[in-house]
Amino acid sequence: MSVSIRLHQVSLDLPIFDVSAQSLKRRVMRLGRRNRIAEDSTGVVVVRSLDGVSLELRAGDRLGLIGHNGAGKSTLLRVLAGIYPPTAGTVEVRGRAVPLLDINLGMDEQSTGRQNIRLRGLLLGMGDTEIRAKTQDIADFTELGDYLDLPLRTYSSGMRLRLAFAIATAVDADILLLDEVVGVGDAGFQEKAAQRLKQLHDRAEIVVLAIHNPEIIRQTCNKALWLERGKLRRFGDAETVLSDYMQHSETMSLMRDSG
């Protein structure tokens, strides 16, 4: 099976509960996002987070998602991961997609570190045999030692992050979906984490990365997708799309300053 991603005219409406349509409209209009809210057939207020997005990726592609906060980058990653089913359009993902979005998802406070390796591994799609084969590597990478036999509730936030990161990056992914990567531990451990993430990146056949640093996209991606208010503004060669985006951002900044 060839690894690929195809999106055709994908739109996503997210419901907003416990808020009046009039109140939400005022808030959205203040943010300059008119025409992004509506009411569905049941009267629930919805916000259009993606609007008619189409793209195609094949093995070897590294895609960088760019756009301002609220443009839809993280939402698109969640659609690709199958977390959000599209309201309209089609999503076709061929291959094992692993999302590194919320790496703490599925961790249990009352279970030990070793038990959490299995729980989180199962959630990421690993089978029991694969989990057993990778448990020692995960344990060694965390540098948590005997703490792995204690409940997660006894861990510091940094220890939890180390464990969650080690488990998430142990998965063999055909397609890797990455949101902004958080720091894990001290400088020495962060260097280890960066190397491990690069190895995972290199093993994957397709990588989709959402990050605010344009230099990382230039260094690692051959394609870029510029989202603006949930719509695809441009998709293509990374350098070309980044240049257009940076020029647009500078123009908008000058207009705001002159206004």
Lowest-confidence range among 46-55, 105-114, 212-221? 212-221
User: Cα torsion at 208, 198, 121, 104 (round to 10°)?
Assistant: -70
The pTM (predicted TM-score) of the whole model is 0.80
Write down the residue that tokens 């705001």 correspond to: 256
User: Residue 247: which CATH number?
Assistant: 3.40.50.300
Q: Is 42 part of a structural domain of the chain?
A: no
**Strand ranges of the sheet holding 231-237, from the earlier edge strand across to the other edge:** 97-100, 175-178, 206-210, 62-66, 223-228, 231-237
pLDDT of residue 221: 93
Q: Is 41 part of a structural domain of the chain?
A: no
- 110 shares its domain with 205: yes
> Domain total for the chain?
2
pLDDT of residue 69: 87
Phi first, then psi, for residue 64 (nearest 5°) are -100, 130
Range with the largest mean pLDDT of 17-21, 36-40, 179-183: 179-183
Mean pLDDT of the 91-112 span: 90
The parent domain of residue 24 ranges over 4-30+47-96+212-258
Number of residues written out for the chain:
259
CA 30/CA 44 separation, integer angstroms: 21
Cα–Cα–Cα angle for 192, 105, 112, rounded to 5 degrees: 75
- 79 shares its domain with 127: no
- 202 shares its domain with 104: yes
Could you report the per-residue pLDDT of 192-211, keeping only the tens digit for each? 888 888 888 889 999 999 98
Q: Does the pLDDT at position 253 exceed 80?
A: no
- 56 shares its domain with 78: yes
pLDDT of residue 199: 87
